Structure 1
Amino acid sequence: MNMFEKISFYPGKVIYEDFHIDINKPLDFEDDGLKEDMFKVQYPDNLILDIGWYDGINKFIIYIIKDFDWDNPIQKTECDLVDLYYKTETCAILIRDLLSKK
């Protein structure tokens, strides 16, 4: 069971899932699993929710991207593993809100 299984990404579709972190282990033991490309959801209207690990800051970053404009994300959320589930769910809700306003 992956960490994000209970989050509703509707109407998005998970297009990449390589998140294999054991939330019961310290991140020090997860060197192989921590990388920039870990989880991605494609939404209508060219929106993407992207999650990755960034060594330079030792945090996860959740991006909300529109039209593949990575230089100007709609949202950039930095968090640690403890907050990752909640912040990912919050970003998914934000995307649904953005889509409902169209």
Structure 2
Amino acid sequence: MEIKKGAWVQILYIVLNPEERASHLPEDTKKVPFEVRIKGFLEDEEAEIGDIVTIKTPIGRLVKGKLEKVNPKYEHNFGEPIPELLKVNKDKLPLSEDRGEKPPA
């Protein structure tokens, strides 16, 4: 699939290779590169998934990396709910009511 200049894309950028990582990191962490995925507009005239390309981020930064996706979604979350934390607010609510405070909305 040929991707044209100006397309909204995502690249994989290697910040640090394994041998460049800090020595105090856990062993399993030190074995892999420190990667970042960045979204921006394709600067190259045309490219395909897997090509090394340059993008321009929305704030104008130019970054070079491996092209991964076209029209990537913004996907992030905070993981699975933790049952113990779900109970915290419920447990504390009576304390705040005793002091005449309004519970958080």
**TM-score, structure 1 length as denominator?**
0.24
Q: Which has the higher contact order (CA 8 A, sep 6+)?
A: 2
Q: Which has the larger radius of gyration?
A: 2
